[in-house]
Amino acid sequence: MNPTILAIESSCDETSAAIIKKGKVLNNIVATQSVHENYGGVVPELASRAHQQNIIPVVDQALKEAKIDKTELDAIAFTKGPGLLGALLVGSSFAKSLAQGLNIPLIGVNHMQAHILAHFIDDPKPSFPFLCLTVSGGHTQIVLVKDHLDMEVIGETHDDAVGEAFDKSAKLLDLPYPGGPLIDKYASQGDGQAYTFPDSEMEGLNFSFSGIKTAFLYFLRDNLKKDKNFIKNNLNNICASLQFSLIRMLMGKLKKASNKLGIKEIAIAGGVSANSGLRNILTDMALENNWNVYIPEFQYCTDNAGMIAMTAHFKYLKSQFEDIKTSPDPRMKF
Ligand code: KG4
Ligand code: ZN
């Protein structure tokens, strides 16, 4: 079976469409919503409206670039969850009507599972079982991946996601949303040891990022009292130190998971895996610990339909189709 599938992603603030044919992702069209920049976070209602504007042009472009006619499609895939309800509804309604109109199966995809399966778009591919640190704006998880569609969350955050910690800290620094990439940029010119922030003490393989967020708030407030230009004069070192602390927490638990399970196939996924500091430290840790490390290509780190298409391919092979009456699941689990 070598299906041709159109996949749609609309869980948060990127509207994306991709075509997969014979297991090969042919393209990955992404329309990013800049409307949220001035609000310090994604505004759900604005996201839904932007998805409505973007979805037809993005799907048209994906079909046109891949030189695929709608009648050649074997299935339509969409992100079922987790994500923002209104945003998910735009993608799922569109996918449902297209599948019904073409009389072909519908495939509902878990967004977090798709971030992990982005590793199967290109070579090298991890072998099973592997561990995946999934780090995004909404999630921070360590996942034991036993097969393409057989995954178990073995550690996760009890409060904020690490992407949220990046973005909320960036907001305190007066940087626009999303602040993660900007912290990364300034951090690359700073000293990660300039300031220290406390690690959280979470049991097992779980994380907590609310403590460092509060510590960061007090740190800025105290220093701004002494010097009103503290942020401006020390931005690179502040970003580097914050980033260093966040990465240290992630890496500590990842190493613990690897030791506990004796697994040396290690992957990262999700928007924060675009972070250059995280990528560098992971490469160093691979050498130290004899790990085979898998880091996705940049375009497949943040939200994209290529990963939804890849997951849909595996689900199609197992005939895991969705009823046409399906609805999105904003809190979808594996
Ligand atoms: O996976 P993603 O695109 O969307 C969600 O599913 O949440 O992840 C978005 C998150 C945001 O918090 C963004 O700030 C963060 O990924 N991010 C980064 C970088 N690029 C994106 N965080 C740190 N460094 C980066 N280079
Ligand atoms: Zn995501």
Residue 194: the pLDDT is: 98
Residue 199: the pLDDT is: 84
Q: Which amino acid is it at 304? A: N
> How do 75-81 and 4-9 pair as beta strands?
parallel
Cα separation, 94 vs 91, whole angstroms = 5
Nearest bound ligand to the CA of residue 166: 1
Q: Do the Cβ atoms of 316 and 7 come closer than 8 Å?
A: no
Q: Whose CA is nearest to atom 22 of ligand 1?
A: 180
pLDDT over threshold 80, residue 312:
yes
Which residues, at least 6 apart from 13, have a Cβ–Cβ distance to it below 8 Å? 32, 33, 36, 42, 47, 50, 87, 303
pLDDT over threshold 90, residue 57:
yes
Task: List the beta bridge partners of residue 33.
Answer: none
Residue 101: the pLDDT is: 98
Residue 215: the pLDDT is: 96
pLDDT over threshold 90, residue 49:
yes
Residue 130: the pLDDT is: 98
Question: Best mutation site among 84, 272, 295, 301 for ligand 1, i.e. most ligand atoms within 8 A of its Cβ?
Answer: 272
- Mean pLDDT over residues 301-326, rounded? 97
Closest CA to 138 of 269, 25, 35, 309: 269
Residue 1: the pLDDT is: 78
Nearest bound ligand to the CA of residue 209: 1
Question: What would the DSSP string read from start to end of 241-286?
Answer: HHHHHHHHHHHHHHHHHHHHHT--EEEEESGGGG-HHHHHHHHHHH
Residue 207: the pLDDT is: 97
Question: Best mutation site among 11, 36, 136, 268 for ligand 1, i.e. most ligand atoms within 8 A of its Cβ?
Answer: 136
Q: Give the sign of the dihedral formed by CA 263, CA 266, CA 272, CA 275.
A: positive
Pocket (CB within 6 angstroms of ligand 1): 12, 136-138, 163, 166-167, 178, 180-181, 184, 270-272, 274-275, 302-303
| Model confidence pLDDT, tens digit, residues 204-263 | 999 999 999 999 999 999 999 999 999 999 999 999 999 999 999 999 999 999 999 999
Q: What is the pTM of this model?
A: 0.94
Q: Whose CA is nearest to atom 11 of ligand 1?
A: 137
**Look-up: residue for tokens 């599948």?**
99
Q: Closest ligand 1 atom, CA of 14? A: 3
| Model confidence pLDDT, tens digit, residues 89-129 | 999 999 999 999 999 999 999 999 999 999 999 999 999 99
**How far, in Å, from the CA of 73 to the mean position of ligand 2?**
25
- Quick one: what percent of the chain has pLDDT higher than 70? 100
Q: Whose CA is nearest to atom 20 of ligand 1?
A: 181
pLDDT over threshold 80, residue 6:
yes
Cis peptide before 124 (omega within 30 of 0): yes
Q: Closest ligand 1 atom, CA of 162? A: 12
Question: What would the DSSP string read from start to end of 295-325?
Answer: ---GGGTSS-HHHHHHHHHHHHHTT--B-TT
Tokens of 132: 């995946």
Question: Best mutation site among 166, 172, 246, 300 for ligand 1, i.e. most ligand atoms within 8 A of its Cβ?
Answer: 166
Nearest bound ligand to the CA of residue 299: 1
| Model confidence pLDDT, tens digit, residues 145-163 | 999 999 999 999 999 999 9
**How far, in Å, from the CA of 300 to the mean position of ligand 2?**
10
User: How many residues make up the chain in this entry?
Assistant: 334
